[in-house]
Amino acid sequence: MDTTTITIKKMLLNATLKANLDALKVFLPAIYEMFKNYTPVDAGVVINDEGNIDLFNQQAFVYSGRPEQFAKEQVASFIKTPLFFDLKMDEISGSKILYDHQRVLEAIEIKRKEEVTTPATFNEKRLDFVCMVGVGLGYQIEELLIQKQVQHLYLCEPSKDIFYAMLHCIEFRPIFEHCIANGGGVTINTGNDYDNMLNGIDDVLKRIGRFYLPRFYVYKHYDSATTESFISKLKKIGYRFAFGWGFMEDEIIGFRHTLANLKLGYKVCKKPSEFTNKDPNRAVFIVANGPSLDFSLKFLKENQDDIIIVSCGTTLRVLLKHNIKPDIHVEMERPVEMLPFIEEIEQQQKNSTIKLKDIQIVALNTVYPELLKKFKTPLLLNKLNDAGGEFIDALDVSNVYARPPHSNPTCPNTAATLIVSLGFKEIYFIGTDFGYVSNEYHHSKDSIYYEKAYRSKAKEKDGKDVIDDLMNRIDGLMNQDFQCKGNFRDLVFSNQIFDASRKQIEYLISSNTDVQVYNCADGALIKHAKPMKIENINLISNNQSKELLLNKLLSDAFDNNAFTKKTLDKSIKKTFYVLKVTLDQLMLIIKQKVNSREELADLFVAQHKLLRQLLFRKEYQFNYWMIQGTFQYLQTYIMSNTLMYDDLVKRNEFMNHSLLLFREHVDLLYKKLIDQHELSS
């Protein structure tokens, strides 16, 4: 090739780079700042010996032949057999329906199964969400947008050098304009590892709506160890994207419990700036009900007079069985069905010197009031991302009450969050396994999980075994499909709930670097917590009475000054009125008839945008957390089933029928909320 042609190609590459930097400055300023003065180190765009534009990386040319032709062939293959995250929503069994939302989901699924049993062939003209793993020189992006309407495009490229090379080759402004015209946009994640990029998917879904989950497309541009690792990890932990949204019925229960607890005068935890912990370096032992608890009971019993012991949920029964009295007991579950567990413990302690009334309880604001009454002077921790918690926050005009993050999804999360909020700086985790060596032994052997006689003690009025049913559901979660790195061994088995709980503990520790955390549990490794076998703990003697310390600390750290009856009643009336207006607006959006899957998605987008507006206005955040879970689940479930249809006429009829069920369900829930409040007044 003559030098003139090469010179012209180089000039075009530089002109494209300049145009792209100008476009990034407008559409993604943070990415512009990253590359405006960038100098590549290990990879770059070149013109090879054949005169083709190519990517030079790791001392080799990446493309053989013309990258534009490679892109055309790759996109054609992708369109023929796309790789996508095919979300499988849990099937609802009629025998297990406890709430109306389960009835609605079952009705949606039954109608779809009557009409469709096999997945639809791929023929979507619009791809709502495409995650591209590795970008190369980017020609495949241009080709994909020629072949398909792409709404949301998420570009993942760990190498900034390669991304910078791409900026020389394709024009980005038309890509931005294409996605925006389709109601979406472009997100770029470069210079980060694939863990960060996986988290970025969740961030995008939060912003655009979870209903994109049933089928978001994964376009892998090149094969490598890193891209394969990304795909593998996406398959392994993708469930996190569809986990723990909650339902309005749960929020109604939690809100009813919150109101009752406030009216009973229970005090709420204040921010750390509102009180002083006189002995922050006192060792606190957070004790959960994992299998390794059994090997720690001797240590706890021998040292219980000196150390602060915090028990988590079902752990209480095991500790009391071994005559170990916790200094604080923590509860976080809202269902009424938790009461029989506590009543059984109460019966167990009938002839013991340790009574529940002697044990200090701290619980999330959503916990059932009748359960709290079993303990000594109940105290509340305000739950983040919760309708009742938002109600408390709205009453907190002086901004004194804590709303710490990471208190879910299990009791050890609540306990750890509480202890950090109380200002303690040295924490030991005991029995917080977040996993198991054998799925036959997933909790302490002394826990109720292994007492068959107890499982059928508590029955509802209709004779249903409440506890036995709950235990069977828990048993069903304990499988050997999921593994993670162990604390004292290479690997342990885990499950979705344990894994999510462990991650929240890690987030809590990483955001409180002044707290020393030791993991003494023979379960999953907890990042940022130092592994320590219980026999290696070196306790430092402390002359100060832990009873006096805790009595003073809890007295200073909790109050209920903001929650008078007059204030509560006034706030309830205003809150319910605003919620009704909000629901009417959201239901109006889906009252029109839809004639395509794209129209359905666009209506859900409109709902999601309104919901997001609620999230960023303090006076409307109660509304958001009261209803967001129900909206996300129904939208996602409807979309998941819609994608099964090939017959467009039947698909349209199914979508409109499902939207009717959606509207009827929300109307019923609001009436239920009002009726329950009137009954409790």
Question: Is 601 inside a domain boundary?
Answer: yes
| pLDDT at position 430 | 98
Residue 184 shares a structural domain with residue 154? yes
Q: Domain ends where: 559, 591, 617?
A: 559
Question: Is 253 inside a domain boundary?
Answer: no
Contacts of 359 (CB under 8 A, 6+ apart): 316, 325, 326, 329, 375, 376
| pLDDT at position 31 | 97
Residue 583 shares a structural domain with residue 552? no
Question: Is 395 inside a domain boundary?
Answer: yes
Residue 641 is part of which domain span? 565-680
Residue 609 shares a structural domain with residue 637? yes
d(CA 371, CA 363) in angstroms, rounded, equals 10
| pLDDT at position 571 | 92
Domains identified in the chain, total number? 3
Q: Domain ends where: 242, 275, 302?
A: 242
| pLDDT at position 84 | 82
| pLDDT at position 603 | 97
> How far is the CA of 575 from the CAs of 261, 421, 436, 663, 674, in angstroms?
18, 29, 44, 21, 11
Structure tokens at 13: 């590459």
Residue 575 shares a structural domain with residue 524? no
Residue 155 shares a structural domain with residue 76? yes
d(CA 476, CA 495) in angstroms, rounded, equals 10
* SS3 call for 416: helix
pTM for the full predicted model? 0.85
Question: Is 247 inside a domain boundary?
Answer: no
User: Side chain identity at 153, as an amino acid letter?
Assistant: L
Check which CATH number belongs to the domain holding 473 and give it. Answer: 3.90.1480
Across 79-234, the runs of DSSP E, i.e. the strands, are: 84-86, 126-133, 149-157, 185-190, 215-220
Question: Is 200 inside a domain boundary?
Answer: yes
The secondary element (H helix, E strand) that includes residue 183 is: none
| pLDDT at position 71 | 92
Question: Is 576 inside a domain boundary?
Answer: yes
Check which CATH number belongs to the domain holding 234 and give it. Answer: 3.40.50
| pLDDT at position 240 | 66
d(CA 569, CA 564) in angstroms, rounded, equals 9
Residue 517 shares a structural domain with residue 577? no
Residue 331 shares a structural domain with residue 479? yes
| pLDDT at position 623 | 95
Give the residues across from 428 on adjacent strands. Answer: 285, 518
Across 70-148, the runs of DSSP E, i.e. the strands, are: 84-86, 126-133
Across 487-613, the runs of DSSP E, i.e. the strands, are: 491-494, 516-519, 530-531, 558-559
| pLDDT at position 442 | 59
Residue 295 shares a structural domain with residue 227? no
Question: Is 95 inside a domain boundary?
Answer: no
On whether the CB atoms of residues 670 and 583 are closer than 8 A, the answer is: yes
Residue 235 shares a structural domain with residue 293? no
d(CA 126, CA 151) in angstroms, rounded, equals 7
Residue 461 shares a structural domain with residue 555? yes
Q: Domain ends where: 509, 528, 559?
A: 559
Residue 575 shares a structural domain with residue 555? no
| pLDDT at position 462 | 43
Q: What is the 3-state secondary structure (H, E, C) of 449-487?
A: HHCHHHHCCCECCCCCEHHHHHHHHHHHHCCCCEEEEEC
Question: Is 108 inside a domain boundary?
Answer: no
Structure tokens at 8: 């012209």
Spans of the chain, pLDDT less than 50: 458-464, 679-681
Residue 672 shares a structural domain with residue 571? yes
